[in-house]
Amino acid sequence: MSVTTDRLESLVAALPDGVVVTDADRMEKYRQDRAFDPAAELPLAVVRARCTEDVQVAVRWAAAHGVGLVPRGAGTGLSGGATAQAGCLVVSTERMTAIEVDVDTRTAVVEPGALNIAVKQAAAEHGLWYPPDPSSYEICSIGGNVATNAGGLCCVKYGVTTDYVLGLTVVLADGTAVELGGPRLKDVAGLSLVKLFVGSEGTLGIVTRAVLRLVPAQRAPATLVATYASLDDAVSTVLAISRTLRPSMVELMDRASINAVEDVTRMGLDRSAAALLLVQSDEAPPRAAAEIEEVAAICTANGATEVVSTDDPDEAAAFVAARRMVITAMEPRGSLLLEDVGVPLPRLGELVRGIERIAAEHAVEIAVVAHAGDGNTHPLIVHDPTDADQTARAHLAYAAVMDLGIALGGTITGEHGVGRLKKAWLADQVGPDVLDLNRRVKQALDPQGILNPGAVF
Ligand X SMILES: Cc1cc2nc3c(=O)[nH]c(=O)nc-3n(C[C@H](O)[C@H](O)[C@H](O)COP(=O)(O)OP(=O)(O)OC[C@H]3O[C@@H](n4cnc5c(N)ncnc54)[C@H](O)[C@@H]3O)c2cc1C
Q: Which residues lie near ligand X (CB under 6 A)? A: 33-34, 70-78, 81-82, 93, 112, 134-136, 140-141, 143-145, 147-148, 150-152, 201-202, 206-207, 327-328, 415-416, 419, 452, 455
Contact 402, 412 (CB under 8 A): yes
Closest contact distance (angstroms) between CB of 306 and ligand X is 26
| Cβ neighbours around 48 below 10 Å, total | 22
Distance CA 386, CA 197 (A): 39
Name the residue nearer to ligand X (CB basis): 233 or 282: 282
Contact present, 412 and 425 (Cβ < 8 Å): yes
Contact 180, 217 (CB under 8 A): no
Taking Cα atoms as reference points, which of 170, 101, 163, 103 lies closest to residue 132?
Answer: 163
Q: Closest separation between CB of residue 159 and ligand X, Å?
A: 12
Residue 221 or 417: which CB sits closer to ligand X?
Answer: 417
- Tell me how far, at minimum, the Cβ of 13 lies from ligand X, in Å: 24
How near is the Cβ of 139 to ligand X at its closest, in Å?
7
- 376-383 and 335-338 strand pairing: antiparallel
Residue number with CB closer to ligand X (136 or 302): 136
Task: State the minimum distance, in angstroms, from the CB of residue 305 to ligand X.
Answer: 27
- CB 236 to ligand X: min, Å: 24
Cβ-based nearer residue to ligand X, 44 or 299: 44
Question: Nearer Cβ to ligand X, position 136 or 281?
Answer: 136
Answer yes or no: are the C-beta atoms of 261 and 318 closer than 8 Å.
no
Question: Smallest gap, in angstroms, from Cβ of residue 153 to ligand X?
Answer: 7
How far apart (Å, rounded) are the C-alpha atoms in residues 434 and 59? 28
φ, ψ of residue 42 in degrees (nearest 5):
-70, 135
Q: Looking at beta carbons only, is 293 or 331 nearer to ligand X?
A: 331
Q: Could you say which DSSP state residue 340 is in?
A: B
74 vs 226 by CB, closer to ligand X:
74
The single-letter DSSP state of residue 156 is: H
List, in order, residues 6 or more apart from 104 with CB less than 8 Å away: none
85/67 Cα distance (integer angstroms): 11
Amino acid at 405: G
CB 294 within 8 A of CB 245: yes
Which residue's C-beta sits nearest to ligand X? 144
Q: Which is nearer to ligand X, 201 or 282 (CB)?
A: 201
Please give the backbone phi and psi of residue 259, each rounded to the nearest 5 degrees, phi first. -70, -35
The residue (of 81 and 221) whose beta carbon lies closer to ligand X is 81
Instruction: Give exposure, 20-33, as e/b (b: 16+ Cβ within 10 Å).
Output: bbeeeeebeebbbb
- Please report how close the Cβ of residue 189 comes to ligand X at its closest, in angstroms: 23
What angle do the packed helices 287-301 and 231-244 form, to 10 degrees? 140
Q: At its nearest, how many Å lie between ligand X and the CB of residue 411?
A: 13
